[in-house]
Structure 1
């Protein structure tokens, strides 16, 4: 699932969405380069990407599963008990908790395969600003998951990124996510490394311009210092929306996000 960003102010979707793109499109007024045509990304600086590429298996990144359906991207975040997963708030609220699971490393056509199994979600923690007003800057959630049938915590099996609170919005970040099956029939994750910046429409958020982040990529981790699947670096936010598959936004983790995370570590 991918939610439209702050410009559109669309109410969060609850069911799995299979339509890419957005209804309101890109406006030149919201673009820092008004000469750009709608949906066109800025020319990337050296060493960055303008379109997503196959990510291969990043074991700590996966999808949320609700019964037979999967939606949104989520990833394991380092925690004292190794049982915390980050995603977007609009992905994790409104769904029945008794059937919600996290499937790291998910891939494969149709219902896909689950190389590390599914991890039952025990609790969902969100910012009060999301509960009360669906505020875009609070569109993040931290989930507490149960041990697997062998008693292992998810972090010990698939690894985790380290949360960083209060990083500045101007970063070179790697974003890993799962586009919806209409654009990604084999359900493989994609990734993009590019320079991100403060969103001019929402100062508490980041924006990136990289094609291929369709519906389904909500909740994707924004990582700095990423050096590969086994050296994930630090997570500074999760993808929350965007007006096209090219333009994506993320709520920047701050002290309020840390407070929500700490509730998840105790749940």
Structure 2
């Protein structure tokens, strides 16, 4: 492992590590026209609020970023529109902080029984201990330079591990969260529309991961950037995985780490996600394990209550 490996964050103490619990809340819609409306009217107000200009402003970019070279294996459903590896299940997650600031992360549809789960970094949904939840959350899979081939999926509920939201400081080793989505305008679930990946534990040192995410400046945040590298352990005391991906800039948080990624079919498994990075181009992911699986199962139970 490189001596300059990522040590940018100090994890919370592991004393609560036996608790795989979930902290969740109904997604907050706080936009003009939503107050006093029905659930359908509030959702429409939210979708109207996220104009193409606001979605771009959430990235904070001033100009289009570098364009990736063409690489064999782009998903055939959108191959004519993009260059390089591109996943339909990966999307741009737009939201606002409690203070009104527009922001975005990356997220991935999860192939689960409910077909309505979207995985992202916990810090995209909640600031951590003592912090607030984000609001006006919408997932836009496969967004590319303003095109939205599968529509938009507003959040119904948002959830993080209790290990992230409790304690005295952010626990980057459990920086994962879920958005339980409502359907798109066609009545499709997110997995039905865009596909999804299963989450698997136990990634290994030396295993290759493929990462796609909506990196912000100097990138545009309007297309998926791609990186491929071999997993290494982070420098102690941080007990995470790391890769060297200098094009995964802010905005790529939540991007999936895909194991066994197949360029021809676009298939693979989620073995991690972009969490915290340093100034040397290293990006770290929580180590997905049995507790991660328990977290996903608990969120599935919450999803089962969605109308």
TM-score (norm 2): 0.65
What is the rounded CA distance, in whole Å, between the counterparts of 1:234 and 1:178 in structure 2?
Answer: 19
Question: What per-residue deviation string (whole Å, max 9, x for no partner) do you get for residues 97-153 of structure 1?
Answer: 4x2110101121xxx332211101111221111011321100011221112233211
Unaligned runs of 5+ in 1: 20-53
Cα 1:169–1:128 change in 2 (3 A) is: farther
Query: Is the radius of gyration larger for structure 1 or structure 2?
Result: 2
The equivalent residue for 2:298 is: 263
Does the CA contact (< 8 Å) of 1:214 and 1:245 recur in 2?
A: no
The equivalent residue for 1:137 is: 173
Q: C-alpha displacement at 1:92, in angstroms?
A: 1.3
Does the CA contact (< 8 Å) of 1:85 and 1:142 recur in 2?
A: yes
The equivalent residue for 1:166 is: 202
What is the rounded CA distance, in whole Å, between the counterparts of 1:241 and 1:222 in structure 2?
Answer: 13
Cα 1:210–1:149 change in 2 (3 A) is: closer
The equivalent residue for 1:66 is: 95
Q: C-alpha displacement at 1:61, in angstroms?
A: 0.5
> For this pair of structures, how many residues does the alignment match?
220
Cα 1:113–1:187 change in 2 (3 A) is: same
Alignment pair present for 1:149 and 2:149: no
Q: C-alpha displacement at 1:188, in angstroms?
A: 1.4
Question: What per-residue deviation string (whole Å, max 9, x for no partner) do you get for residues 8-59 of structure 1?
Answer: 459xxxx96759xxxxxxxxxxxxxxxxxxxxxxxxxxxxxxxxxx645321
What is the rounded CA distance, in whole Å, between the counterparts of 2:229 and 2:190 in structure 1?
Answer: 29
TM-score (norm 1): 0.74
Unaligned runs of 5+ in 2: 1-5, 12-56, 62-82, 127-131, 303-307
Q: C-alpha displacement at 1:215, in angstroms?
A: 0.9
The equivalent residue for 1:254 is: 289
Does the CA contact (< 8 Å) of 2:151 and 2:185 recur in 1?
A: no
Secondary structure in 2 matching 1:237: strand
Alignment pair present for 1:196 and 2:231: yes
What is the rounded CA distance, in whole Å, between the counterparts of 2:211 and 2:221 in structure 1?
Answer: 19
The equivalent residue for 2:139 is: 102
Please, which of 247, 250, 269 is the counterpart of residue 215 of structure 1?
250
The equivalent residue for 2:24 is: none
Please, which of 195, 208, 211 is the counterpart of residue 175 of structure 1?
211
What is the rounded CA distance, in whole Å, between the counterparts of 1:100 and 1:129 in structure 2?
Answer: 22
